[in-house]
Structure 1
Amino acid sequence: MAQAQHDNPKLDPNPGSNTQKDPDDWVSGDEPMTGAQASYLTTLSEEAHEEPPPEDLSKAEASKRIDALKEKLGR
């Protein structure tokens, strides 16, 4: 027997997001930040007139700083 449409998450018109997770809960959050994160953080830091990020940030720390700088800059 076929499942009801509402039981299939692929057919849900308003699926829950698994792309927005608290950085503290990331499995890879302790890994070094990516090159893309470092580049974006540097750009945001320059625009916000702040010091560039330290090179030893983790992915989770970088994500939190990106969010904070975006909020500061009104993005």
Structure 2
Amino acid sequence: MAKAADKHDTTQENPKTDPKDVSNQIKDPDQWTTGGEPMTGAQASYLKTLSEEAKEPKAFEPDLDKAEASKRIDDLRHKAGHA
């Protein structure tokens, strides 16, 4: 009978802790493969709240894509003091 793999086998490294693995690093929104898709509901809600807090209501536009919404959120977070 074949031996089951030990769940606690420490001979294999965790790929998420590999310093050479850059797949989990934060990417520039302009490099996102889905950046051109419409912003998510969460982005829209947060962007609207931040635009009100930063007293920049024109910063919220409902037709932004994910990448542009992310950039505006970052900008407004700094302006609203959430940095």
Structure-1-length-normalised TM-score: 0.76
How has the CA–CA distance of structure 1 residues 11 and 20 changed in structure 2, closer, same or farther, with 3 Å as cutoff? closer
How has the CA–CA distance of structure 1 residues 9 and 72 changed in structure 2, closer, same or farther, with 3 Å as cutoff? same
How has the CA–CA distance of structure 1 residues 60 and 49 changed in structure 2, closer, same or farther, with 3 Å as cutoff? same
Unaligned residue ranges in structure 1 (runs of 5+): none
After superposing on structure 2, the runs of 4+ consecutive aligned residues of structure 1 that deviate more than 4 Å are none
1-structure distance, mates of 2:38, 2:16: 33
Tell me the SS of whatever aligns to 2:57.
coil
Match of 1:46 in 2: 52
Match of 1:63 in 2: 70
Q: Which of 9, 12, 18 is the equivalent residue of 2:24?
A: 18
RMSD: 2.4
Q: What is the aligned residue count?
A: 70
2-structure distance, mates of 1:11, 1:36: 29
Residue 54 of structure 1 deviates from its aligned partner by: 1.1
Structure-2-length-normalised TM-score: 0.70
String of CA shifts for 1:34-65, please: whole Å, max 9, x gaps.
11100000000010111151111000000000
Unaligned residue ranges in structure 2 (runs of 5+): 1-10
Which structure: larger Rg? 2
